[in-house]
Structure 1
Amino acid sequence: MLSNVLKHESRIHLMNSSTNESSERYNIRVLDRAIQVLLCFVERGSRLTIDEVVQTTALPKSTAYRILANLQRHGLLARNPEDETFALGSTAVLIGATAIRGLDLPQKVRPYLEQLMEATGETAHLAILTQNHVIVVDKIDSPHPIRLVSSVGFRSPLHCTGVGKVLLAHLPERTTQRLLSAYEWRRYTPNTITDPARFAAELAEIRSQGYAVDREEFNAGLRCVAAPLRDYTGEVIAAVSVSGPSSRIGTAQIDDLAQTVLDYSRRMSQELGYRE
């Protein structure tokens, strides 16, 4: 999410600098370098050592270290003392969350999200990938008194949620491997998948069938079915899901529910310009 914003701003800067020479007077070198450092987390991966930052940016190591320290001080980066790596921090996530509220993705697909909730009677979520979590950017609550309680901005893990798994399954393989190489395989319920080999097989199955299922893997007693949303380029940019108690979403209901979620994910994707 933040990466898309940074890429967009970077393109604007490059375009303006090539078409309007007078803009160079406004360049702030240290700010340019700080943005360069942030962008290397987009290009190279979610966790980087200082040597990898230096290799990507070609900055002197002392300069890169000072920039990393200042970005960490402001919460834009977080440092892991165990392996001396850096990753985008909580402030970066908040900036990204603010940016997404200004985008038109939720507004474009909200009517379909409402229809999905009405068709299934269960809480419908729209979520995007951010670092090693997924974040809810819109939701429509189920009318049932017993339902999943969540909120816009809610963050959840990748490996044990329907939206997390379906988004991971559609990342480039290299990106997925890098992300999971340092992933914390926390067990939330007895059904949580914590074995990397078994999880890889789960992702392959998701790619094959087109949807993901959370079988009480994050919260005992709750199930979820999720499908990907594609933009006009065919890239998966978000996921849609329905979630509810296992008393209403039994194993016998999963297949029919999955077809409904897939149907609405296709409609939403078409609204975003995707054509099969």
Structure 2
Amino acid sequence: MKSKSGDVGPSDQLYERLKPIDDHWVLEALPDAGGQREPGPVVPAVDKAIRIMTLLNRVEGGLSLAEIARDTETTKSHCHGILKTLCRHDWLIFDGISKRYRLHAGVMRDLSSALKTQLSVEAMRPVLVRLSGIAGIASVLSRPLPDGSFLIMDSVSASRNVEISYPMGYRLPPDATAHMRANLAWRTEHEIDDWFRRETIKRYTQHTIVEPSAARAELVATRRRGYARSLEEFTEGVMAIAMPVFDATGTIAYICDCVGTLAVMRDNEARIARAMIEAVAELHRLFGSVTPPDFPRPHA
């Protein structure tokens, strides 16, 4: 987590920018951005199987062998073998009349323990919509990934302030300021130390706090305040506040982030923060989440 000597200018790798469009702003991903890290080893057959499952999850009524092979860029013979294997494990079922494959109940059976701890993004969206409406700014929902990055799961734009324009599968890096602080602030000292050993905070703008002791102090301030904040530290002209969303096991499952132009956010921070605390509390009630004793709760 130590900054490199002489690292005083903004990072060469920026992930997003604030762009004026007509009467509002667009927060858009920059080309080649997305927080993707160097991929690890890939087993081709497993990769193809996952791509097939993902494809069928998006299509109602199933698909034929030819359609699946085409859309996953797999030879028919190889694709047929994978499909038969997945059927053997009851993850897929083949309809002999329509000649189509579709998802089967075996997936739910074999992933049941994981599904119990996952929160439904679809169920969370109405809360995000209400949050953006009350706060008057955009809201973003991301999922912390094992590699430290944050996968954008959903977003709601603010028509009078900032429109979110992220491509599907867009990732923010582990040191995306507000997300990072929300993700770390309620963790143990051991987990925080481990993060600082693995990661290096890049200077995205002239405002980015990169010095380790100062960055740690911001985590303490985040926990005391009840939410993380970033004032132009990740993207010029943008302010963000963020909070973690816990699941029923007390594990951080998502990060809820409110983002807008610096002028709008700074002048309305207290009101927006109250709206976010209310929204996150609603999500926790909805999913029976377990939260730390000092986690902020709405005022009665």
TM superposition score category, shorter chain reference: 0.5 to 0.7
Does 1:188 pair with 2:204? yes
Match of 2:172 in 1: 156
CA offsets, 1:148-172, max 9 Å, x none? 4334422113334312210121233
Does 1:237 pair with 2:253? yes
Between Structure 1 and Structure 2, how many residues are aligned? 187
Residue 147 of structure 1 deviates from its aligned partner by: 3.4
**Code of the aligned partner of 1:265:** V
1:148–1:245 CA contact under 8 A, matched in 2: no
User: C-alpha distance in 1, partners of 2:268/2:144?
Assistant: 27
- Between the two structures, name the one with larger relative contact order (CA 8 Å, sep ≥ 6): 2
**Code of the aligned partner of 1:236:** I
Which aligned runs of 4 or more in structure 1 are off by greater than 6 angstroms? Answer: none
Does 1:126 pair with 2:141? yes
Match of 1:105 in 2: 120
Residue 108 of structure 1 deviates from its aligned partner by: 2.0
Distance 1:146 1:273, change over 3 A: closer
CA offsets, 1:110-150, max 9 Å, x none? 11011111112211111121122212111112223643433
Does 1:218 pair with 2:186? no
User: C-alpha distance in 2, partners of 1:142/1:158?
Assistant: 25
How do 1:41-120 and structure 2 match up within 5 A? Answer: 72-74=40-42, 104-120=119-135
Normalized against structure 1, the TM-score is what? Answer: 0.60
**Code of the aligned partner of 2:159:** P
Distance 1:144 1:75, change over 3 A: farther
**Secondary structure in 2 aligned to 1:228?**
strand
Higher helix proportion (structure 1 or 2): 1
**Code of the aligned partner of 1:106:** V
2:138–2:162 CA contact under 8 A, matched in 1: no
2:132–2:158 CA contact under 8 A, matched in 1: yes
**Secondary structure in 1 aligned to 2:152?**
strand
Q: Percent identity?
A: 22
**Secondary structure in 2 aligned to 1:197?**
helix
Distance 1:275 1:176, change over 3 A: closer
Match of 1:65 in 2: none
Does 1:141 pair with 2:144? no
Residue 229 of structure 1 deviates from its aligned partner by: 1.1
Does 1:257 pair with 2:225? no
User: C-alpha distance in 1, partners of 2:177/2:151?
Assistant: 11
User: C-alpha distance in 1, partners of 2:185/2:209?
Assistant: 15
Structure 1 residues not aligned, in runs of 5+: 1-70, 77-90
2:119–2:253 CA contact under 8 A, matched in 1: no
**Code of the aligned partner of 1:228:** P
**Code of the aligned partner of 2:166:** S
The higher radius of gyration belongs to: 2
Does 1:272 pair with 2:287? yes
Residue 181 of structure 1 deviates from its aligned partner by: 0.8
User: C-alpha distance in 1, partners of 2:182/2:228?
Assistant: 5
2:231–2:239 CA contact under 8 A, matched in 1: yes
Distance 1:212 1:225, change over 3 A: same
User: C-alpha distance in 1, partners of 2:43/2:160?
Assistant: 39
Normalized against structure 2, the TM-score is what? Answer: 0.56
What value does the CA root-mean-square deviation take over the aligned residues?
Answer: 2.9
The partner residue of 2:264 within 248, 257, 263 is 248
